[in-house]
Amino acid sequence: MVRVNVRVIAATNQDLKAAVASGRFREDLFYRLQVVPITIPPLRERAEDIPLLMGGFLEHFAAKHKRRRKTMSVEALQLCQRFPWPGNVRQVRNLMERLTVTSRHSTIAVEELPEEIRTHAQNATTFVLRAGMPIAEAEKLLIRQTLAHVTSNREEAARALGISRRALQYKLKKYSLANEPASASPAP
């Protein structure tokens, strides 16, 4: 007999409690897997993660495919932050690999993005609020989306939000949005 010591990490996009209740998932297996549950919101609710993910994937695929390192233009990155990413991180990863291989420029421009991202941006003036979301989290999301929509111009963003520039600066600091990477929110 060979002894092994393993840890199982399982991921799903399904509500397993509901699946157990409806008899579609084994209750004993649910409790075996339910040791340290980690809930990660979908990427469309974490726009601040998109620049980091894209940068990391671009670097990874440049090394993997022996290509020169690429970056996203500010405009392309802002469009990507407004896109809902139905395929979540896997969709971002696949797009970054495609752009690493197909883009001839060191900076990826809006024109190189898939049509679905470019056309979505024309209608992207809304974002998703979850029931029970804390007001502070909703405010943070609203500020981030407003900055992305108005090309990170602080004065214009403050006007759009109906607050003073000073109040906006306070909220940026409060929600740790002031120190985001320059490619995600350049200073005016």
Q: Which domains does the chain have, with CATH numbers?
A: 1-39 (no CATH), 43-122 (1.10.8.60), 135-174 (1.10.10)
- Of 111-115, 126-130, 181-185, least confident by mean pLDDT is 181-185
Which residues are 72's β-sheet partners? 108
pLDDT of residue 46: 84
Q: Rounded CA gap, 143 and 160, in Å?
A: 10
Question: Is the model more confident about 154 or about 53?
Answer: 53
pLDDT of residue 13: 83
Kindly give, in sequence order, each residue whose CB lies less than 8 Å from that of residue 89, ignoring residues fewer than 6 positions away. Answer: 43, 53
pLDDT of residue 187: 35
- Position 111 pLDDT exceeds 90: yes
Tell me: the pLDDT tens digits for 6-15? 988 888 888 8
pLDDT of residue 125: 57
pTM of the model: 0.58
Of 142, 74, 86, the residue nearest 116 (C-alpha): 86
Q: Rounded CA gap, 143 and 151, in Å?
A: 12
Residue 183 binned pLDDT confidence (cut-offs 50, 70, 90): very low
Q: Exposure pattern of 61-72 as b/e (b: 16+ CB <10 Å)?
A: bbeeeeeeebbb
